Amino acid sequence: MKPALTRRQFLQGCSAAIAAMSGAKLTNLAFAKQDNPSDTLVVVFLRGGWDALNVVPPMDGDDRGFYEKARPDIKIQNLLRLNDQFGLHPAMSPLYDLYQQGKAGVIHAVGLNYDTRSHFDAQEYIELGTPGAKNTASGWITRHLQATGISSILPVVSTSGQPTSVLNFVPTVSLSTPDEFSLWDNGLRDSHTNALRTMYAGESLVHRAGLRTLDALDIVRPLTGGEYQPSNGAYYNDDDFGRQLKTVAQMIKLDAGLRVAAVDFGGWDTHEYQNDHDGGYMADLLNSLASGLANFYLDLDSGYTNKLSVVVISEFGRRLVQNESYGTDHGHGSVMLTLGGSVNGGQVFGQFPGLQNDQLYDRADLAITTDYRSVLSELLAKRMGNADIESVFPGFSQGYNPLGIYQ
Amino acid sequence: MQTRKLTRRDFLKLSGTFAATSALAACAPGEETPTAAPFESTGQSPVIQPEAQTQLPPVPMAILALSRLTFGIRPGDVDAFNALGSSDDERLLNFINQQLNPDTLDDSDFENRYNNAGFETLYKSHEQIYADHIASNPYDSNDDAYWEWYSKPAYELADATVLRAVHSKKQLVELLADFWHNHFNVYFWQDDGVPLLASYNRDVLRTHMLGNFRQMLEAVAKHPSMLYYLNQNNSSDAGPNENFARELFELHTLGAENYLGVRDPNSVEKDANGIAIGYVDNDVYEAARCFTGWRIDDDLGDWEDGIEKTGNFLYYKPWHDRFNKLVLGRYIPADQEDLKDGYDVLDLLASHPGTARHIARKLCRRFISDVPPESLVQAAADTFLQYKDAPDQLKRVMETILLSAEFKASWGGKVKRPFEAAMSMMRALNSDFTRIPGGVHWMLGLMGQALFERRPPDGYPDMREAWANSMSLLFEWNFAVGLTENWLDDDDTGYKIRSDVMAQTPAEIRSASSLADYWIQRILNRSLPEASRNAVVAVMAQEYGWDETLTEEHVQYVLPAMIEVILMSPDFQWR
């Protein structure tokens, strides 16, 4: 009995037919196996340094006292209980259900253990994966894919430019929406692409890049022009973050071997009035984040979540003590979130160092007890088929200490 | 350029049966289709690893020189080059002499366009820009008028830079201005000093780029654009900010290749003059102390005694760390005269052999090959050091590089980056404009190379691997389509770019093959491989025979599409 053709085979066949028609070689047609050998990783980078202590504040005990004393005007109450020690900002309620179901976890007092409070430096170090060294020629995701080899036509998408984490990864396709990633049509587009396949049939880097682009256009084209219908009644907010997640969901559902997606979410540099007006813009940001992630998960809970890992990271947390403008200044230790079908969720991971003056970093900020690379290393080892930590985070493998976040 | 209107030639799409259309139609679900072999790693890494110079058939000297030393060959350029002498060497020498002495060139076509472009701010002095666009333009993030006036000089600079790249005859200095802006990179939207980008580009980079490196370095270090961008404006003895000092070593002078890491500075080997052969972290910290108090006269809020708001460089002694320092093994005593600590650091760096090699290698990478031969790097570094005090030091370095045997053998060494690709398309089509539509900057951004918008201080990369990504290539292709179809309009400003390809096509050339051959030669100045040439002919012919005379209507509809394919070809990518 002939098995039904999948959408993927259909696309593959069409690409092959076009290539064969124009005499192009098929070396760049790169669909590998039916299944992704590992998870699809979605990295959400919160630009600006989110106020982790107001996202996951202490609920009880001495630390609650230090927290309230340091933040008389901006402390968060009515928390969603995570465990005996911590609660979640109420604006994050859409994600709370997934936490209770064990699909989402929290890592506290985590971050970049390097002495900088510069956005630029901290983001750069985190994304390069080499704290203290800026001249690294590749991002950490680049090195992971280099170590594991890539086997698909569309291994990486970025929905906001070319972030440093994929620095010098040539096949990255950056697109904010599928519609943007299209060849402008003067009425003779198919004639154009036929000619281009002939002209770009060659071995040089320029030729290979051209064929990759043509292949990627073929893959993305079915997504353009139409209205996307998310599964399970999921709904994406009409904001920048929602649109990016919607694009990533579409790319995952193409079954074209997407390995990593990079998503950016900006606006977290809350120096002023972060809680004004009913929770303020910090609450709006958190609600957009939580609602976006929850609906993304719901949408992909149609056969994709068992191979999905989402991590949320920011370049640093913020100062314990509120500033004169009812905001917070650049700090140090932060919170990471993780989401996916294979997360040991419903827990707060990491050792909390405390908020007493002597327990703080530089007597000002939440200290770091878990290096962010430890979380990513565990993810790579357990979910991404890459136990070679040293290849991704050179010099770090000695410090790798898995917290049991992933199955 | 949000407009992507379809054109009247849509009907062609419906009338013709194209290979791809039928191929797609043939693979409806349920049918057997050929399957592609699974991808197997062939050792071709997707990660950046410099590809050696690509082996390409040799080209005439005119094509090499014009491709490499201009933003692309315009119609007539090859003939003009060939008229410069009776041998390749003589022509090249004369061309380089003209380009390195740009005031000898008649640039009236560009000057007419520039004078008619309506630039309002580019003639202003640095102080005038600061006064008009910053001091008298109080910050109001919600006010569109504020933002427009604040960013106007920088936007006008970007527009003028495109105008020069396409229409000025002084092409080599345009390439050098681009090189030096990226070498001493300042980000367009860096806080506090956006409008000052115009004076930075003009007064610092363009003034010194054929002059003396030490003088350029000091002009950079004192310009408010750089002082703001690398946080030097806030660096005091109480809290030295190392940002500028670190990039001064790492990017501007010695380069990371001469960084020896976190080491005891006493352990570093010294050269014959007692100068350290490379730098360590301690040198950065000590240099940062040397530059404390280098700031801007920018007290907009009248908070500081004795500070005005001229926007000029200011040496602010109360912030200067007066005690002794040790930089690259050189002892810098306490309480030197004003500015001397910083000058000593600049002197040490500008005359260091490591700096000479770093600058020489970057220039060779720009003008010879992604991986330039060490022989030429050393020769250029030798010139750099030999003429380190000469007022035309950098011009002499350029002569060493461009008049070398290595230059003549370098075809295949460079690929156009997106900005160069877009500019060269406009040059190839003789495109007409004085002000570009804002959408051009938007498209350059999608290609990954918006002018002056490299955020990190290292400047846009100059290796083909960094640009071989789908988005860059796709929007270069889209630029070819938008340009040739004359879609690049800005309805708000009325700015537009026009490329009249019909008027540039002799009326007697009307078969698909002759039109293809004419335009291949016109754009590339050489022939294409047979398969590629036939692909171009096939686009022109569509359903007609290759040698039959095409109707005027067909030519009008299809000619732009055929030209687009030539502009989108890999052959157009070499420079």
Which residues pair with residue B176 across a beta bridge?
none
Nearest CA in chain A to B532: A199
Instruction: Quote the CA–CA distance of A169 and A154 in Å, as a whole number.
Output: 12
Residue B266 sits at φ, ψ, to 5 deg, of -70, -20
Domain ranges of chain B: 1-21+48-56+415-575, 353-408
Q: Examine the pLDDT at A18 and tell me if it is beyond 70.
A: no
Q: What is the arithmetic mean of pLDDT over A74-87?
A: 96
Interface mutation target, options A18, A150, A164, A184, chain B, most CBs of B under 10 Å: A184
B-chain residues near A192 (CB < 8 A): 539, 561, 564-565, 568
- Residue pLDDT, tens place only, B160-214: 999 999 999 999 999 999 999 999 999 998 778 999 999 999 999 999 999 999 9
Ordered by where they begin, the domains of chain A are 1-31+191-223 (no CATH), 38-181+235-399 (3.40.720)
Q: For B13, which of A10, A168, A187 is closest by C-beta distance?
A: A187
Nearest CA in chain A to B466: A168
- Beta carbons of A338 and A70 less than 8 angstroms apart: no
- Residue pLDDT, tens place only, A311-365: 999 999 999 999 888 889 889 999 999 999 999 999 999 999 999 999 999 899 9
Q: B27 falls in which pLDDT band (50, 70, 90)? A: very low
Task: List, as one string, the DSSP characters of B443-467.
Answer: HHHHHT--TT---STT-S--SGGGG
- Side-chain half-sphere of B243: how many Cα atoms within 13 Å? 22
- Beta carbons of B196 and B452 less than 8 angstroms apart: no
Interface mutation target, options A8, A162, A168, A188, chain B, most CBs of B under 10 Å: A188
Which residues pair with residue B327 across a beta bridge?
B330
- Cβ-in-10-Å burial (0-12, 13-18, 19+) of B19 comes to middle
pLDDT of A21: 27
Q: Examine the pLDDT at B386 and tell me if it is beyond 60.
A: yes
User: Any CB–CB contact under 8 A between B542 and chain A?
Assistant: yes
Q: Examine the pLDDT at B4 and tell me if it is beyond 60.
A: no
For residues A117 and B385, the model is more confident at B385
Instruction: Quote the CA–CA distance of B444 and B358 in Å, as a whole number.
Output: 28
pLDDT of B49: 52
B-chain residues near A138 (CB < 8 A): 47-48
pLDDT of A338: 98
pLDDT of A35: 54
The closest of B543, B544, B516, B549 to B531, measured between CA atoms, is: B516
- Residue pLDDT, tens place only, A24-66: 222 233 333 335 678 999 999 999 899 999 999 999 999 999 9
B-chain residues near A169 (CB < 8 A): 46-47
Q: Which residues lie below 8 Å from residue B155, measured CB to CB, with a gap of 6+?
A: none
Stated pTM of the model: 0.82
pLDDT of A1: 27
**In chain B, % of residues over pLDDT 90:** 79
Instruction: Quote the CA–CA distance of A59 and A76 in Å, as a whole number.
Output: 10
* Cα torsion B261, B263, B265, B268: sign: negative
For residues B20 and B452, the model is more confident at B452
- B18 and A194 in contact by Cβ < 8 A? yes
**In chain B, % of residues over pLDDT 70:** 91
- A13 and B27 in contact by Cβ < 8 A? yes
For residues A281 and A139, the model is more confident at A139
- B536 and A188 in contact by Cβ < 8 A? no
B 231-270 → A contacts, CB under 8 A: 243, 250, 256, 259
Q: B31 falls in which pLDDT band (50, 70, 90)? A: very low
pLDDT of B194: 95
Nearest CA in chain B to A118: B243
- Residue pLDDT, tens place only, A271-314: 888 887 555 789 999 999 999 999 999 999 999 999 999 999 99
Least confident of A210-219, B333-342, B518-527: A210-219
Q: Collapsing DSSP states into helix, strand and coil, what is residue B8?
A: coil
- B35 and A204 in contact by Cβ < 8 A? no
- Residue B288: CB atoms within 10 A of its CB come to 22
Nearest CA in chain A to B229: A120
- Residue pLDDT, tens place only, A210-264: 998 998 898 888 888 788 999 999 999 999 899 999 999 999 998 888 999 999 9
- B469 and A208 in contact by Cβ < 8 A? no
